[in-house]
């Protein structure tokens, strides 16, 4: 298939390693020498129409060709290209010289129609000699050549022989003939294929047959003056003499699908992954530096390193850089390397700039060796309508995609931040997790949101998949929410969907979701399901108020659901085993929080009538007082002997925290639970429910400050029979191990000193020698802090008056 002239073989077969800067420089030099009439590149032929976009100013690598099945966008494949990829260099050279470009690999229409064995085009790109993954049984040619040369590390051999070519201090290329390296590499690959056979990935024969057919077609169109840029492994197959009939026979009957192709941004971090991308490289940032540095790559690299370390407040001077350069070059000389590689540079950084620690090296690896670079593509690149709407929204909201993970704080009282929140929630509903909610720092208000943002290249596929729901993010999220509401089978699914609809501001979907919610709630009789659904429903009511959404219907459903939980909870408790009791305890806590929030929503603070009278407008009457009804349920649970001790103890604790127990009520219930007639295991469960750290984390502090409860607990514990003590010890250990170290130490001191009383009644005066205890409540001193407390908590006048009433 190839002839030879004085300038070299025709066509010129330029075997490369994908994402190799040495290969990229050699390809550029070879193209300058050959000046071909056309350039053929390993890639999907469907991308031929996208070639002109690579010359646009808005195109900045790393980028990738994306092909996906139009009817099933989830079946997709990427062909990533970095600035230092030989294919990208060849593509840009051809565009600058107005030379036609053709992609010659097996069409994506066939590749994506074949059964997916994790051998998609991403994996197939391991054909250049990169370490193959588990689906590729072909030998690793780079490892084989490195072993022949006496190297135990194939990456180090490749760097020394290929990547460091042309990176001499003066920047001069050492080869007089730019085609010589490709001839040598082709000869080596031919020897490997002869020794080990052509066996490799099962698609290699198909791909090579199609490449030969495309090469023949190009020779008819442009003549023999061609340059072919492909993985080095394929060069012997392309040079092999075969017949057109034989190649067509191999491709006969292949499945075919209708595909769409486009350019999408890529990242250096994604290039560095070996899982899911067989031709991934370990150090894209370093390779990019080797490719772009005009001269003295070691000195320039260590200067970059010094700049990054100074930004992180490391004391790095010019003297450190000079000394690190000398050490790296000395190590390369001792190790017989033509140029200091990453191993030598890392050793020099650790020794000179890091004082022997690995901290600087880890930082440099993330920032420079890999790097967080996100490419860009032109606005007029082909895209589904949903992607175009998303791009417009990102610009309007000034929310630019970035490869580096960053935290975004939102104040929902601001229009722009509220719009950002709606967009991110709608994308999550569509299965496009650009942002993930995170815990807010410094504020627990419902008008605050915190997000962790990171744009991954694979999200482009998610956007294409979501395009079936609509042409805009809003309409697509609405359509998906209504469909999921109809298809949902559990109450928890529908309540979570209702929460998402309010967060994403989808008023058109909410009525459908509410109907489904009412239907599921009416049919579900499992109190566990009802209790699990209630918190999300109540949160949705709060979110609706914060975002200005009418949540009246949702509030009514939440109230009805709470009442059903009140009725069904007591009958569900008797007869539970330990695991069932533990699960129900979680539902008890969640319902308690939900009732408190729902009561706040039902009784919003009223503005004062005037500063003189201090009178307030009475809240609207409620058909049922949720707090009072919930307190009755807790009392029932706390006093019923058939209820497991864990649940009785937790109900007692919740009543105590709410101030719903009469004086001595907690001591009475604790005395009954720890009476001699109670089985020790049940009593230990009661203690775990009562004194275990809940959401407030103050279970231990309760015992520290209430010596009567501590005395009851101590008296019971000392009276547990020896035979039963071993059984209750794990429960007690689990309870007390959750306390802070200081709390456990204080409890130990109080137990050693001995409690002051074990009988119900007014609390005795605490021991004045005990740190943190006083002789009693000083109401004047307590009232003095109320104004400051009001400011810290952000309460209005009503909250201040309530605090005053409590203090008085």
User: Could you tell me the two tokens for 58?
Assistant: 């808005």
Q: Report the candidate in 5, 10, 7, 4 with the shortest Cα–Cα distance to residue 227.
A: 10
Residue with tokens 């890999």, as numbered in its chain: 370
Question: What is the enclosing helix (H) or strand (E) of 109?
Answer: helix 108-111
Say which residues have a Cβ less than 8 Å from residue 487's Cβ, sequence separation at least 6: none
Both 625 and 713 in a single domain? no
User: What are the two backbone dihedrals, phi and then psi, of residue 382, each rounded to the nearest 5 degrees?
Assistant: -55, 140
pLDDT at 126 over 70: no
Q: Is the pLDDT of residue 420 over 70?
A: yes
CA distance 466 to 681: 53
Interaxial angle between packed helices 578-602 and 680-691, expressed in degrees from 0 to 180 and rounded to the nearest 10: 30
- The span from the CA of 178 to the CA of 185, in Å, is 12
- 667 and 804 fall within a common domain: no
Do 191 and 317 share a domain, yes or no?
no
Residue carrying the six token digits 């492994």 = 233
User: Are 210 and 355 in a shared domain?
Assistant: no
As a whole number of angstroms, the distance between CA 475 and CA 389 comes to 11
Residues 62 and 194 in one domain: yes
Q: By the 8 A CB rule, do 9 and 3 touch?
A: yes
Packing angle between helix 665-673 and helix 680-691, nearest 10 degrees? Answer: 150
Best CA proximity match to 739, nearest among 683, 801, 693, 797 = 693
Name which of 280, 328, 281, 319 is nearest 301 in CA terms. Answer: 328
pLDDT in tens, 685-739: 887 787 776 555 556 677 777 777 777 777 777 777 777 777 777 777 777 777 7
Q: Is 60 exceeded by the pLDDT of residue 359?
A: yes
pLDDT digits (tens, 9 = 90+) for 219-254: 999 999 999 999 888 999 999 888 999 999 999 999
Q: For residue 52, what are the domain limits?
A: 3-68+76-116+127-257
Lowest mean pLDDT among 28-37, 272-281, 486-495, 695-704: 272-281
Residues 91 and 60 placed together within one structural domain of the fold: yes
Tell me: do 783 and 769 sit in the same domain.
no
DSSP character string of 313-351: T----HHHHHHHHHHHHHHHHHTT-SS--HHHHHHHIII
Give 261's strand partners: 67
Boundary (domain end) residue, out of 257, 276, 307 = 257
pLDDT of residue 619: 41
568 shares its domain with 685: no
pTM above 0.75, yes or no: no
Q: What is the DSSP string of 344-367?
A: HHHHHIIIIISTT-SHHHHHHIII
Domain count, the chain: 5
pLDDT band at 607 (very low <50, low <70, confident <90, very high): very low
Secondary structure class of 102 (helix, strand, coil): strand
Q: What percent of the chain has pLDDT over 70?
A: 80
pLDDT in tens, 456-486: 888 888 898 888 888 899 999 999 999 988 8
Mean pLDDT to the nearest integer, 745-760:
65
Rounded to the nearest integer, the mean pLDDT of the chain is 78
Tell me the pLDDT tens digit for each residue of 308-356. Answer: 999 888 889 999 999 999 999 999 899 888 888 888 999 999 999 988 8
Residues 623 and 750 in one domain: no
Confidence bin at 130 (pLDDT 50/70/90): very low
Question: Cα–Cα distance between 336 and 396 in angstroms, integer?
Answer: 56
pLDDT band at 774, cuts 50/70/90? Answer: low
Q: State the pLDDT at residue 169.
A: 44
Query: In this structure, is residue 240 part of a structural domain?
Result: yes
> Per the domain annotation, does 398 fall within a domain?
no
Q: Report d(CA 438, CA 736) in Å as an integer.
A: 29
Name the residue with higher pLDDT: 316 or 540. 316
> What's the CA gap between 476 and 366, in Å, rounded?
37
Whether residues 163 and 61 fall in one domain:
yes
pLDDT of residue 32: 93
Q: Are residues 782 and 768 in the same domain?
A: no
- Do 807 and 666 belong together in one domain? no
Residue 433: inside a domain, yes or no? no
- Residue 368 backbone class (left: φ over 0; alpha: ψ -120 to 50; beta: rest): alpha
pLDDT, tens digit, for every residue of 501-527?
Answer: 888 888 888 888 888 877 777 777 777
What is the average per-residue pLDDT within 381-407?
Answer: 89
């Amino acid at each position: 298939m190839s002839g030879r002239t004085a300038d070299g073989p025709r066509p010129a077969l330029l075997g490369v390693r994908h994402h190799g800067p040495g290969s990229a420089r050699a390809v550029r030099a070879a193209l300058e020498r050959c000046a071909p009439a056309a350039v053929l590149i390993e890639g999907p032929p469907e991308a031929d129409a996208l070639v002109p976009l690579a010359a646009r100013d808005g195109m900045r690598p790393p980028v990738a060709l994306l092909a996906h099945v139009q009817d099933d966008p989830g079946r997709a494949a990427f062909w990533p290209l970095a600035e230092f990829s030989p294919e990208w260099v060849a593509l840009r050279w051809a565009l600058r010289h107005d030379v036609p470009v053709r992609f010659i690999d097996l069409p994506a229409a066939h590749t994506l129609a074949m059964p997916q064995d994790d051998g998609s085009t991403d994996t197939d790109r391991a054909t250049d000699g990169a370490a193959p993954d588990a689906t590729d049984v072909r030998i690793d040619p780079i490892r084989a050549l490195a072993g022949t040369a006496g190297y135990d590390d194939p990456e180090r051999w490749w760097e020394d022989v290929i990547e460091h070519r042309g990176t001499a201090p003066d920047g001069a290329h050492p080869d007089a003939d730019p085609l010589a390296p490709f001839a040598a590499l082709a000869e080596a690959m031919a020897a490997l294929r002869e020794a080990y056979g052509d066996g490799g990935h099962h698609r290699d024969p198909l791909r090579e047959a199609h490449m030969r057919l495309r090469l023949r077609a190009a020779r008819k169109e442009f003549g023999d003056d061609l340059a072919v840029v492909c993985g080095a492994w394929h060069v012997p197959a392309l040079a092999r003499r075969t017949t057109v009939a034989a190649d067509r026979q191999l491709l006969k009957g292949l499945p075919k699908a209708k595909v769409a192709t486009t350019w999408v941004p890529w990242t250096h971090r994604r290039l560095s992954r070996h899982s899911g991308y067989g031709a991934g490289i370990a150090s894209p940032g370093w390779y990019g530096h080797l490719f772009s540095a005009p001269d003295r790559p070691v000195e320039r690299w260590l200067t970059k390193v010094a700049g990054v370390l100074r930004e992180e407040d490391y004391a790095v001077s010019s003297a450190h850089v000079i000394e690190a350069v000398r050490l790296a070059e000395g190590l390369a000389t001792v190790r017989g390397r033509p140029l200091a590689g990453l191993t030598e540079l890392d050793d020099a950084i650790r020794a000179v700039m890091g004082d022997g620690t690995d901290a600087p090296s880890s930082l440099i690896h993330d920032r420079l060796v890999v790097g967080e670079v996100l490419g860009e593509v032109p606005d007029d690149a082909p895209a589904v309508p949903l992607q175009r709407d998303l791009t417009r929204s990102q610009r309007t909201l000034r929310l630019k995609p970035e490869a580096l993970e960053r935290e975004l704080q939102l104040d929902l009282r601001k229009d722009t931040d509220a719009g950002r929140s709606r967009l991110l929630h709608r994308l999550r509903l569509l299965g496009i997790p650009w942002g993930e909610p995170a815990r807010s720092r410094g504020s627990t208000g419902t008008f605050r949101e915190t997000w962790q943002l990171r744009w991954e290249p694979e999200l482009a596929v998610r956007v294409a998949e979501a395009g079936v729901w609509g042409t805009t993010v809003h309409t697509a999220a609405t359509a998906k929410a209504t469909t999921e509401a109809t298809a949902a089978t559990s109450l928890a699914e529908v309540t979570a969907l209702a929460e998402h609809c309010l967060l994403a501001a989808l008023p058109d979907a909410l009525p459908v979701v509410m109907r489904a919610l009412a239907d599921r709630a009416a049919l579900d009789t499992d109190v566990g399901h009802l209790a699990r659904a209630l918190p999300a429903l109540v949160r949705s009511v709060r979110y609706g108020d914060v975002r200005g959404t009418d949540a009246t219907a949702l509030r009514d459903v939440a109230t009805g659901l709470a009442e059903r939980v009140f009725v069904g909870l007591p009958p569900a408790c008797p007869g539970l085993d330990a695991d069932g009791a533990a699960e129900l305890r979680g539902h008890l806590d969640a319902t308690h929080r939900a009732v408190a929030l729902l009561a706040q929503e039902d009784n919003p603070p009223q503005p004062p009538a005037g500063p003189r009278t201090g009178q307030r407008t009475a809240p609207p009457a409620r058909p049922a007082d949720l707090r009072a009804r919930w307190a009755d349920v807790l009392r029932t649970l706390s006093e019923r002997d058939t209820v497991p001790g864990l649940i009785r103890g937790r109900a007692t604790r919740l009543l105590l925290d709410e101030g719903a127990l009469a004086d001595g009520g907690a001591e009475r219930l604790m005395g009954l639970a720890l009476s001699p007639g109670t089985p020790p295991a049940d009593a230990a469960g009661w203690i775990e429910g009562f004194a275990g750290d809940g959401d407030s984390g103050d279970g231990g502090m309760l015992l520290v400050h209430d010596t009567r409860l501590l005395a009851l607990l101590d008296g019971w514990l000392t009276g547990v029979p020896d035979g039963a003590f071993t059984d209750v010890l794990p429960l007690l250990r689990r309870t007390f191990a959750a306390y802070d170290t200081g709390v456990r130490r204080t409890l130990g001191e109080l137990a050693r000193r001995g409690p002051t009383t074990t009988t119900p009644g007014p609390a005795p005066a605490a021991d004045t020698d005990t740190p943190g205890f006083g002789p009693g409540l000083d109401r004047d001193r307590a009232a003095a802090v109320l104004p400051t407390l009001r400011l810290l908590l952000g309460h209005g006048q009503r909250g201040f008056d309530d605090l005053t009433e409590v203090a008085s």
